[in-house]
Structures are given as structure tokens and as C-alpha cells.
Amino acid sequence: MNKQTILPILLLIILLGALGYFIYNDLTNIGKAPDNEENTSTTTSDTITDGENRVDASFGEEIPEEIIPGLDREFTVPEIYSEEIKNNTMEQYQTIVSALKEDPALRGEWLQLALFRNSIEDYKGAEEIWLFMTQVWSFDHVAYGNLGNLYYTNLLDIEKSKDFYVQAIEKNPAYLNYYDNLYNIFFFKLEDRANALLLLEQGSNLLMDEIYFPLKKAEYYRDTGDVVNAKKFFKETVALAETLGLIDIQNHAESELEKL
């Protein structure tokens, strides 16, 4: 995919305000854990390095036609946009659809098409594509993470959201966005404190130098009334932030310590 294809698509999605947490991973993106209910987040690298675009071997040389999402689904750009934007968007959309009709193994084009559908609130259409991608590129975390976001934000199925975030972490355990969203599901939506803490423990054991985990543990203990452990992990956060030169996080942790 070239920049001429990607930029108009992202422009439309931003204009429609629908990008939200959804991930367009073009193999070398940098991912961010979002700020939400009560957390301060950090960043981590998100690079797929092992056969990014290969189709799962179980399909052989061709993807079975019966599992390929329909490509003639209605797509209409909202009338609030100028004719130039609408025409350019439709042109880009049709270009992607034509490419996929020619070759349904184009992973990047499926990702773009799903974002197009999501941008006009065709959530079922986006869901159809991402579910298809979990079959064809089952090693790839992106579709799993997008489904987790979709069920959390738009289709409002917390159990499905949780399950897809769990699978996304299994496929890419270095992507903080998934931990943060799954933590919020456990802690705030399901009120499952034990699994919320277990998730942080598992992440910190794997990503020992990632400041997100001591900070989130500190917030967990603060929010559950364990002042001793809250102080312990805020102090750890301060020390690590100072080492890493993360002044904003250091200041945040110090401010939280003063309140305890």
C-alpha cells in the first residue's frame, strides 16, 4: 500500500471521529495504551516480524470463497462532507474493493476496508471482516484487538470483548493497549479484581522494564484501599520513571504518593 492510498482513508476516518481505539497496523506502527477511567499510559513498539501477510497454511494456496466477506455491501459517505471528500473517498473505497475481488489475500486492504465500514458505523460489516481475518491470519493480533475494541465500544458485548483481548495479548504480549483495555474490563465492567491484578502480574513478569505495570499496580492498590502496596508501587514507578527520563509519569506518581 502506498501513501496515496492510506492518507485519504485515515483522513476520512479522523473526520468522521470513528477511529477511536481501532488499530490500523501497517506492520510497523507504534501503539499507545489509551488514557481512560483512571490511568496514565505509556507506549510500546508494535511490530509484527514473522510472516506478516502470509495466509494460514491450512487454506493452501487459495482462501475458500465461502468464507470471504461480501464485497458489494452498501457504502455511503455522509452528506455533511463536501463533494470532493465524498468523491475521493468513494474512489478509494472502490479501489480497495476491486483489489480484493482480484486478490482476497491482501491483508492490508481488508484492514482498510474494515476501517471504512467502521467509519460509517457499519459495525456488523467491520465485524465480518475482522472475524474473517482471524481465520485467515490467525497468528496476527490486529484483528483480535480490533474485535475487542469493537465489542467494547460499539457492539457492547463485554464478554466477547474480553475474550478477544485475551487472544490479542496471547498473539502480541508486548502491546500495552490490550492490557489497558482488558484491565478496565476486569476492574470496572466485570468488577473482577482478582483477574485484573493477575493480568498486571503476568504483564510485568513478561515486560519487566515497562513502566505501565508498576504504575497500574499502584493505581490498583490505591483504588482497592491497600495503602501500603499503593505506596510501594508508586515508589517503584517514581524510581523507574527517573531512570527512563519519564518526567510526566514521575511527577504523576509523586503527586499520587503525596495523597496517600
Q: What is the pLDDT of residues 133-181, one digit of tens each?
A: 999 999 889 999 999 999 999 999 999 999 999 999 999 999 999 999 9
Q: How far apart are CA 158 and CA 138, in angstroms?
A: 22
Q: How far apart are CA 137 and CA 81, in angstroms?
A: 35
> What single-letter amino acid sits at 43?
T
Q: Helices 227-244 and 247-259 meet at what angle, rounded to 10?
A: 160
Query: Domain limits of the chain?
Result: 1-20+68-138
Q: What is the pLDDT of residues 205-258, one digit of tens each?
A: 999 999 999 999 999 999 999 999 999 999 999 999 999 999 999 999 999 999
Cell of 16: 468522521
Q: How far apart are CA 11 and CA 89, in angstroms?
A: 9
pTM of the model: 0.81
